[in-house]
Structure 1
Amino acid sequence: MKASETTAKRRQQLLRFISRDLLGPVVGKMPKSSIESLEKASYLPNVRRHILDIIPVTDARIVKHEPRTAYPPYIRTEAVFNRRNLYLLKDVTVSPFSGMAWIGNRIIEESVGSLRRIMDWGDVLHEPLLPVTALASAEPVVVCHPANYFHWLMEVLPNLLFTVARFPEVKIVLPEEVPRYVSEGLFTALGTDAEKRFIRCQGPVRVERLVVPQYHTQPEFTDPQVIVLLHNAVKGKIVADGVRPRAGRGVRLYVSRRKSRRRLAGEELLEKRLEEIGFTILNSEELSFAEQIWLFHEAEMVVGTHGAGLTNVVWSQPGCRVIEIFANNYILDCYAWLSFSRELDYHHVVCDTGHRIDEKAMEEVLSVCGGGER
């Protein structure tokens, strides 16, 4: 961590401590008044003067899936998507680490999705306290921040593609170092000369013309229009939908989390039993971006505990069976939603013993897998 970032975090911790000490334990985090919708605050002259244009890119709509299987209430099949905009702004500050943009001391809510989301990101609240440098660019710029794999692929990359379609000359602000999937994903989507667009930054920058894509308030729901965009602009560069598996038949994948801090105990035994019935054990972080697209395109069955590796089911073909394993204290239906959107055969198994794949859960997984034997 760079010295300036360390100093800013310590400053934020001190301010939080002082605020709590003086005003009580219910405060001490960033006040709600400092995070506000750009459109809501656009009546204010000191906000309105920064807005050059508001450009709609997708319409508002309700999406309702009707899977053939009944699911419990926590596996949702209906979502509301508000209109998605691009905001062309002038003289605005933005962080390359999170995409958070701010005017003065007012954070633009659309740049992060919602107040709830940013308050969950406790490690970004210090960013407005970091030193800011001016960025000289004749072209408008957009930030491509390195979120985790799910959020980067389902949110950041699509928003970047919407921006490039509207502003072909746009420059892309990135941190100095990004994960492998970010660089490879950008080259896949934008071509081998994408590097010409990149501006590497060490910290927040003040920008003359900034494009802020609008982030959805509920990221667990991916707009089917985004999935179509990813297939056309990304997967289509690697493999076309409908292309048969190169091996002549589908493959069975287990997405391992044994190298993750948040893995479930008992995973080693489940992997062994799945290998015995023809599954390939997959460590997604060891594969290139293109290899992940190909493997999930070819998959006839995907098994995995809840985690970012299951994001790749977005590349799977309709009919692929997906079996997701949950700890009983944390269930989030983002991969169920992706599966419904791609017409995949989705199943879920909840472990009774918390963070362990117990024998009952293991047998249930194997039973569902057995239903798809060749």
Structure 2
Amino acid sequence: MLKKAFFGVLHALGYYSRYTSVLHHPDKQVFTPGYVLDFNEVERAFLEDSARSFNYAIDYSLGYRQKEQYLIRLQNVEVLGNSGAVVLDGKVVVESVGEVSRLAKSDAFKEVSLLLPKNQSGRYTSVLHLPWADNNNYHWFFDCLPRLYLVLENTQEPIQVIMRRNMALYQLETLAFVLKDYPQAEVVYIGKNEKWQVDEFVLPSFVANAQSGYLPREVVDWLRHKVWQGYGVQQSSRKRRIYISRAKAKTRRVLNEQELLPLLDRYGFEVVRAEELTYQQQVQLFYETEAVIAPHGAGLTNLLFSEQCQVLEFHPANLIKTHYFLLCKALDFRYSAVMGTTGDKLENYTVPMQEVEAWLEGVGI
């Protein structure tokens, strides 16, 4: 009794120390089984370099398994407004937040924050994923919106989609684009300090894996076309070449960028700073782009909206991430990587000019 009362106090303060899995729930519906991607020798070498840089904590060189896609119907759960987590019988449902490691890394599940309970009748779903996707376009487009594909395509009954009011403009816009053709779905807003008790909750699986922009073809095509149509992307004969600068960022800056820019200019590359563009302008720009060069960063998320593109990504030698290689794999884009020097404490590094020039000469653009 004392133990139950103790956990009751913690839960009232928004603190959850225990978790559970519902992968074997009797109401789980699998719509697409898992499968394994094949890689060629060059791709495996890149994935091996990446795995080594992370001390093999994530290793796709031995095979990449696309997870099965499913929905699970849960009864009498709580939805936490501060994190988007779903709670069943006092335990956070791992499948609602992605994976166990994110429970450990995120204060959103363990912060002391009074959550006011509110009973809600009806059928609900949510793809909130905080703080990871609070205002991060990568996590929004790969961890959040793909999950709605599963709900909207496979749920015909009326359903309410729980979101937060303080979403970024591009999130509000693209959410509206995605929901436009699904009259059964309605958005409802939860407060950061609210905890909703709901009768029925439809839990969609995460589609993308950790450090991966790979989405199954039917999902990536659905998402691309929804955003293209929503922003009214215009066909253009103009083919652009862009370099995404992180000069104003705090981390992962290319230290010899000023030396690099004249070389890129000779090959027709223009410098782009995504933060200076509206999201509609970013989508239109990438739709028209035939070649992108960039240091690793969220700006490369917009490759999702390129019609066809070649990509050169820079990485510090000690931190090689696979997100956009796997996105290019999904989109059948030609991808290359250049490894720079070992990154400093802010992951800033220098890139080898000769390797960049060799790529520019060899890709035929």
What is the TM-score with the length of structure 1 in the denominator? 0.76
Alignment-mate amino acid for residue 150 of structure 1: Y
* 1:124 aligns to 2:113 (yes or no): no
Q: How large is the RMSD of aligned CA atoms in angstroms? A: 3.4
Aligned 1:182-197 pairs, distance under 5 A:
182-191=171-180, 197=186
Q: Which of 258, 269, 276 in structure 2 is aligned with 1:279?
A: 269
2:321 to 329, 332, 350: 332
Change (3 A) 1:97 1:131: closer
Residue 34 of structure 2 corresponds to 60
The CA deviation string for residues 51-104 of structure 1, in whole angstroms up to 9 with x for no partner, is 7x3222321211223376663313546311332221111211112453311123
Q: Structure 2: which 5+ residue stretches go unaligned?
A: 1-9, 51-59
CA separation in 2, counterparts of 1:91 and 1:267? Answer: 56
| Matched residue, 1:159 | 147
Distance 2:125 2:191 in 1: 16
Aligned equivalents of 1:199 and 1:215: distance in 2?
21
Separation in 2, partners of 1:230, 1:217: 11
What CA deviation, in whole Å up to 9, does each residue of 1:13-35 have, x standing for no partner?
A: xx9xxxxxxxxxxxxxx75xx12
Q: Secondary structure at the match of 2:352?
A: helix
SS in 2 for 1:329: coil
Matches within 5 A, 1:49-88: 53-66=27-40, 71-72=45-46, 73-74=48-49, 76=60, 78-88=63-73
Q: Secondary structure at the match of 1:138?
A: strand
Cα shift readout 1:125-145 (whole Å, capped 9, x = no counterpart): 225854132143434333444
Task: Count how many residue pairs are aligned between Structure 1 and Structure 2.
Answer: 331
The yes-or-no answer on 1:228 pairing with 2:218 is yes
**Distance in 1 of aligned mates of 2:214 and 2:363:** 29
CA 1:131–1:232 in 2, change beyond 3 Å: closer, same or farther? closer
Which stretches of structure 1, 4 residues or more, deviate above 6 A after TM superposition? 67-70
Stretch deviating more after TM superposition (213-222 or 173-182): 213-222
Contact between 1:235 and 1:293, CA under 8 Å: does it hold in 2? Answer: no
% identical equivalent positions: 24
After TM superposition, give the deviation of residue 365 of structure 1 in Å. 2.1
SS, match of residue 74 in structure 1: helix
The whole-number CA distance in structure 2 between the counterparts of 1:85 and 1:193 is 19
Contact 1:185 1:289 in 2 (8 A): no
**What displacement does 1:268 show?**
4.4
Letter of the structure 2 residue corresponding to residue 333 of structure 1: T
What is the SS of the residue equivalent to 2:151? Answer: helix
The amino acid across from 1:256 in the alignment is S
Change (3 A) 1:178 1:347: same
Alpha-carbon contact 1:67-1:340 (below 8 Å) kept? no
Q: Assess, with a 3 A threshold, how the Cα gap between structure 1 residues 176 and 296 changes in structure 2: closer, same or farther.
A: same
Q: CA deviation at 1:39?
A: 3.5
Q: Deviations over 1:160-181 (max 9, x none)?
A: 1211222242211111201222
Give the structure 1 partner of residue 98 of structure 2. Answer: 113
**CA distance change for structure 1 residues 69 and 218 in 2, over 3 Å: closer, same or farther?**
closer
Q: Structure 1: where are the runs of 5+ without partners? A: 1-7, 16-29, 43-50
Kept in 2, the 8 Å contact 1:250–1:299? The answer is yes
CA–CA distance in structure 1, aligned partners of residues 284 and 274 of structure 2? 12
Q: Which residue of 2 aligns with 1:20?
A: none
1:27 is matched with none
Q: 1:176 corresponds to which residue?
A: 165
Q: Does 1:341 align with 2:316?
A: no
